[in-house]
Amino acid sequence: AQSVSQHNHHVILSEAASLELGCNYSYGGTVNLFWYVQYPGQHLQLLLKYFSGDPLVKGIKGFEAEFIKSKFSFNLRKPSVQWSDTAEYFCAVISGGSYIPTFGRGTSLIVHP
Amino acid sequence: EAGVAQSPRYKIIEKRQSVAFWCNPISGHATLYWYQQILGQGPKLLIQFQNNGVVDDSQLPKDRFSAERLKGVDSTLKIQPAKLEDSAVYLCASSPHQGGPPLATQYFGPGTRLLVL
């Protein structure tokens, strides 16, 4: 069965710091990869996704993620975070052929001014 | 475009009671998902519907949980009887179609927060 690991459970940064959140998955075949964000008091929403093609994908609000197949990773990055990026971030994987989404446990990001 | 609607938003019940949650997906979305999100964890898929048929319910505790999606639109998730460990947020999501990208992107509702005492 597919599993998704997000190693950073809590991250605290100052504004303008760079961000990288790790996401690793276990299944070695074709995968569809997602990052979702949940702002305080709001519902989960899609940040970015990778299906095929360029392994560096860009999402909303200046976020990007890189798919490295050899490392089974899909890390999320942002060069300069803002206070408004304070949220919970979830990595999700859909393995090719199963169509069953598997989520990581999430990373809580706090950005202080 | 209206988003995924869920009700109620909050529910408090005692153990051994029954509870039901309702979800209305985005219009035209064929696939509907129910997730359980326990505090401090990521969403765990309970059941996935394609129109009104079940695609996967392998993680649904069928001795107490049931779900249906009549007419391929709205869906209800029921717990009977509830246990303390069922305290969680129950999320509903929909996507345009099951299958390959880009149609697998999910759109989430606000969730129902359940507390079992």
The pLDDT value given to residue B98: 59
pLDDT at A2 over 90: no
What residues contact residue A99 under an 8 Å CB cut-off, 6+ apart?
B48, B55, B56, B98, B99, B104
Which of A39-43, B19-23, B67-71, B98-102 comes out lowest in average pLDDT? B98-102
User: What's the whole-number mean pLDDT along residues B63-80?
Assistant: 94
Q: What is the pLDDT of residue A52?
A: 86
Q: Which of B37, B39, B60 would best serve as a mutation to test chain A binding (most A beta carbons within 10 A)?
A: B37
Q: Give residue B70's pLDDT.
A: 82
Tell me if chain B has a CB within 8 Å of the CB of A8: no
For residue B104, the model assigns a pLDDT of: 67
| Rounded-to-integer distance, Cα B42 and Cα A87, Å | 14
Contacts with A, B 27-86, CB within 8 Å = 33, 35, 40-45, 48, 55-56
DSSP assignments along A44-98, one per residue? -EEEEEE-SS-SEEE-GGG-EEEEEGGGTEEEEEESS--GGG-EEEEEEEEETTT
Determine the pLDDT at residue B40: 87
For A32-77, what is each residue's pLDDT tens digit? 899 999 999 898 999 999 988 999 999 999 999 999 999 999 999 9
How close is the nearest chain A Cα to the Cα of B56, in Å? Answer: 8
Best residue in B9, B46, B106 to probe A by mutation, most A CBs within 10 Å?
A: B106
Q: Kind of pairing, strands A73-78 and A56-58? A: unpaired
Please, how many CA atoms are within 13 Å of residue A4, restricted to the half-sphere of its CB? 30
In A, minimum Cα distance to B5 occurs at: A43
In chain B, residues with a C-beta closer than 8 Å to the C-beta of A106 are 41-42
The closest of A76, A74, A77, A63 to A31, measured between CA atoms, is A74
Q: Where residue A5 falls among pLDDT bands split at 50, 70, 90?
A: very high
- B110 CA: distance to closest CA in chain A (Å): 5
Interstrand relation of A73-78 and A19-21 (parallel, antiparallel or unpaired): antiparallel
Sequential DSSP letters for B71-106: GGS-EEEEESS--GGG-EEEEEEEES-SSSTTTT--
H helix or E strand, kind and range, residue A17: none
> How does residue B51 score in pLDDT terms, banded at 50, 70 and 90?
confident
How many angstroms away from the CA of A58 is the closest CA of chain B? 15
Least confident of A2-6, A88-92, B22-26: A2-6
Token pair for residue A96?
A: 């090719």
Strand partners, B19: B79
Nearest to B77 by CA among B14, B10, B116, B22: B22
State which residue of chain A sits closest to B104, comparing Cα positions: A99
